[in-house]
Structure 1
Amino acid sequence: MPIRFIHTSDIHLGKTYRSGGAAGERYGDFFATFAAIVADAIREKVDFVLIGGDLFHTGQILPKTFAKTIEILQPLKDAGIPCIAVEGNHDWIHRRDSVSWMEALSQLGYICLLRPSRTTDGGYRFDPFDAEEGSGGYLEVAGVNVYGLGYIGSQAGTHIERICQAVATRRNILLFHVGVWSYSPVEIGNIKPEEALPLADCFAYVALGHGHKPYIVETPEGRPYAFNPGSPECVNFGEERYDKGYYLVTMDDDGVSHLFKASSPRPMLVLTVDLDGALDAGEALERFGARMRERLDAQTDQRAPLIEARLIGKVAFHPFELSRDRLRCALEDIRQPLHLEIKNHLSQISSSGGEEKVKKSLAEIERDVLGELIRANSSYRDRESELIELSLALRDLVLKGDVEGEELLGLLLRGGGSCD
């Protein structure tokens, strides 16, 4: 018999901005998007729902996030539609002696969390899912065997052969939180297309997650076999370029057919504002407002947008005069954004002795200071560029305020290597 299911991923429940009045509204965006997908699953009377990882934004979530997740999943449970999930890199917790929130959801019967066991020789063992324990490696539902494998890192490609060797059934689906190079927009946690190809022989449908951009991977003969729906809500700036939604999939003896169903993410704008030659902050603010009006007037979605503005050019005043508050005030008569991020790449022009001198931008000053600190320790001199980028990445995450300490530690350990 044909089966129908929804494949979604990278929901990122719990993400928000921790400063300003935007926190509550932005927090609700991700739950509203997830609730709409669950409602569609019930309306379509699908056989099951697949979540390809990163249901949560961090491994350590607030109790209210857990409670609200249960509230959204309850109608799916009442309808008898299994919700099958794996853990993504954001769901993962460092302390494996603790029960994760994903495991708790599985033990309570709201999701079926799939996680394989490992053999003594480094292989994989996919045990049948035990509903009472809330654990197992695969689940048979509606005549299809769904195997699950969460995030296993940048060496995932070397595990493909062992994964295939552990599969002993037919009519299979693999739920795998991994990206495929040349398709995935992220830089870590990917496998090469040629490494992924053996999965096409074992699985009729490979349900991917991880990268927030939708894409489909085909065999050399042109048969689609691996699908990534991307994230249904814009999680980070830059994602406004991607389609947002999820897949409604039908499997029968003739193969797989898929329909990409669009979601409704909050409007997100990323734009560059050229202020070159501005003589004072007042002129710069007028030009900033005019550029913003041009873009915002073209938006049909009336929800308060998320905006990232990159300020560039050489100006005749100190860039610090364009504070976030002044820039936000310049938008009052246009449309107030829910959240505004400013990337200030302005440099200051000053005249001295009849010759024009250009002072360094704030970004250049930051890099110079970090480089000087790193070079002070001879052990790190060969890694100056790498450690500057890592320091700036950590700084940006802390300023955004949407990560936990353990996630920052994980980034530091992955990027910093043996640094003390």
Structure 2
Amino acid sequence: MVKFLHVADVHLGFDRYDSRERTKDFFRAFQDVLQRYAIDEQVDFVLIAGDLFEHRTLQPAILNQAQLCLQDLKAANIPVFAIEGNHDNRPYGIVTSWLKYLSEWRLLTLLEPGNVAAGESFYCPWDEDRRRGGYIDLACGVRILGSNWYGAAAPRAIEQIADAMAELPPGPEHTVLMFHHGLAGQIARYAGALRYDDLLPLRQAGVDYLALGHIHKHYSVDGWVHNPGSLEANNVEEAQYERGAYLVELNGQGVQARLQRDYYQRPIARLRLLARGHESLRELEAAALSLLEEAIELGQVDPVQAPLLEFRIEGQVGFDRLEFDTRALQQALQQRSNAIICLLKYEVETVGYASPLAEEANRRQIEYDIFTDVLAGHRDYKKRAPELAHGLMDLKERQLQGHAEEALYAFVETLLEPGSQASSTTPAVTEEK
């Protein structure tokens, strides 16, 4: 029986939120996964199917993180095989990369096809002295093949890989291919994904285990296509994805791949408050803090674990949306939740009217309240809202009584003049019989 660990999309050096602690989370996750499911499980080897790093250009501390993790595996006599992903591949025309550097220092084995345009074979066996090669046959009974990052050319590259595999000499019992690309239908808004039929030439060429990367959500198809997802979430939206590392066994019965998720991960909490348009500034702030307290009581947010918190306020507000002090609320939410990062998403619309209407309100009272709220939302009219609301009610009555258009326009012009008393007889808001 062969046992190995399959990880992808480690993204060491992740820095999207400009937080050193969040950047360290990706190192802690990688280190913990390797200890639990590679070293403790005594696997035969580890696969890294692309995107070990977040960036092609590395800070020294990030390279050191990779070296520390890989040195632990080397000390345990566990070989590591890797390919480049779209985040850490070398730019066109550059002959080296940080993965190649780690390979030359014998901390991992970078498997990559040869340069066919330069007369090299697509797949050459691994040369330990030259530290180059596209595939390697292991004594445990597995042939491992590498690939490059192909982007939109992936379907054509698959055909090329399958043809090259057909030219290889007979190998061990099991064949594993690392390939950094995504499969269609797994996540929304992903252009350029492969169709399942695009992968079938690889199966026909003898691939028993296709070790994918790139999409940060775990999935497997037909017992031979496997993508573990990223070890850590690269954004709060990815909190909804199941992801982790595959602990895989290959034996006479086939492939047994078990997704492992019990390792260090920063908890992510996402809360949503719906504003309905009748809350005041203070009431909306109080509602937000109350929602957080409820989430803490229910265990959805644990201040002890210093989560990453996303708090969304959506819906409608009955005041100028810019009057709300989002910075002060964000600070209060972060302090109460002890969040390492608090992302406050304030995505509301200012409604035309927002005053709560009493159940016993008559028609004229409702008209007055609506007119007042519409005017209060306008920067030029809000200071005269009550006066102008009565004027609009008078205008409506005059129109219903059949006043001439010229007279109505003259009334409006007078009404809008500052200090105007156009409505000589202000309609009383009385209950209709």
Normalising by the smaller structure, the TM-score range is 0.7 to 0.9
**One-letter code aligned to 1:212:** H
Alignment partner, residue 418 of structure 2 = none
Cα pair distance change 1:357/1:9, threshold 3 Å: farther
- Residue of structure 2 equivalent to 1:159: 157
Deviation of the 1:303 alpha carbon: 1.2
Q: 2:27 aligns with which of 13, 28, 31?
A: 31
- Aligned to 2:305, the other structure's residue is in SS state coil
Q: Which has the larger radius of gyration?
A: 2
Alpha-carbon shift at residue 18 of structure 1 (Å)? 5.4
What amino acid does structure 1 have at the position aligned with 2:160?
A: R
Deviations 1:284-327 (A, max 9, x none): 11111122223343237541111222321221333334455312
1:276, distance to aligned residue in structure 2 (A): 2.4
Q: Within 2, Cα distance between the matches of 1:236 and 1:103?
A: 28
Give the match for residue 249 of structure 1.
248
Whichever residue aligns with residue 194 of structure 1, its letter is D
Q: Partner residue of 2:426?
A: none
CA root-mean-square deviation: 2.6
The change in CA–CA distance for 1:127 and 1:314 in structure 2 (over 3 A counts) is same
Task: Summarize deviations over 1:149-197 as a string: whole Å, max 9, x none.
Answer: 1321023123222111111244210000011111355614521011112
Residue in 1 that maps onto 2:102: 105
Task: Give structure 1 stretches of 5+ with no counterpart.
Answer: 219-223, 361-420
- CA distance, structure 1, for counterparts of residue 226 and residue 268 of structure 2: 25
Over 3 Å counting, the alpha-carbon distance change for 1:165 and 1:341 in structure 2 is same
Counterpart position of 2:389: none
Q: Tell whether 2:127 aligns with 1:130.
A: yes
Change (3 A) 1:28 1:88: same
Residue 242 of structure 2 corresponds to residue 269 of structure 1: no
Q: Which residue of 2 aligns with 1:85?
A: 82
Q: In structure 2, what is the Cα distance between the partners aligned to 1:305 and 1:213? A: 20
**CA shift digits 1:15-45 (9 cap, x unpaired):** 13554xxx22111111111111221211111
Q: What is the aligned length?
A: 351
Question: Contact 1:178–1:189 (CA<8 Å) still a contact in 2?
Answer: no
1:234-263 CA-partner distances (Å, limit 9, x unpaired): 111211112232111111233111221113
- State the shift of 1:120 in Å: 3.7
The separation in 2 between residues aligned to 1:353 and 1:122, in whole angstroms, is 79
Contact kept in structure 2, 1:185 and 1:212, CA below 8 Å:
no
**Contact 1:248/1:261 (8 A) holds in 2:** yes
* Alpha-carbon distance in structure 2 between the residues aligned to 1:200 and 1:136: 22
Taking structure 2 as the reference length, the TM-score comes to 0.75
Distance 1:316 1:195, change over 3 A: same
TM-score if structure 1 supplies the norm length? 0.77
Secondary structure of the residue aligned to 1:275 is strand
Aligned to 1:290: 290
User: Residue in 2 aligned with 1:356?
Assistant: 374
The runs of 5 or more residues in structure 2 that have no matched partner are: 354-369, 379-433
**Residue aligned with 1:103, SS:** helix
The CA distance in 1 between the partners of 2:100 and 2:339, in whole Å, is 37
| 1:137 positional shift | 0.9
* 8 Å contact from structure 2 (residues 334, 342) kept in 1: no
Change (3 A) 1:18 1:313: closer
State the one-letter code of the partner of 2:196.
P
**Aligned to 1:154, what secondary structure does the other structure show?**
helix
Cα deviation for residue 331 of structure 1 reads 2.0
SS at match of 2:337: coil
Query: Which deviates more from structure 2 when the two are superposed, residues 189-198 or residues 309-318?
Result: 309-318
Q: Is the 8 A contact 2:179 2:211 kept in 1?
A: yes
Equivalent positions of 1:361-400 (< 5 A) are none
In 1, distance between residues paired with 2:89 and 2:308?
27
The percent of aligned pairs where both chains have the same amino acid is 32
C-alpha contact 1:124 1:162 (8 A) present in aligned 2: no
Distance across 1 between alignment mates of 2:31 and 2:235: 20
| Match runs of 1:290-309 below 5 Å | 290-297=290-297, 298-299=299-300, 302-309=304-311
Following superposition, which runs of at least 4 residues in structure 1 exceed 6 angstroms of deviation?
121-124, 357-360
Change (3 A) 1:336 1:105: same
Instruction: Give the Å deviation of 1:62.
Output: 0.7
- Aligned counterparts of 2:44 and 2:117: Cα–Cα separation in 1: 35
Partners of 2:74 and 2:102 lie apart in 1 by 12
Over 3 Å counting, the alpha-carbon distance change for 1:287 and 1:214 in structure 2 is same
- Could you say if the C-alpha distance between residues 123 and 191 of structure 1 is closer, same or farther in structure 2, counting changes exceeding 3 Å? farther
Q: Which residue of 1 aligns with 2:347?
A: 345
Q: 1:273 to 1:16 in 2, by over 3 A?
A: same
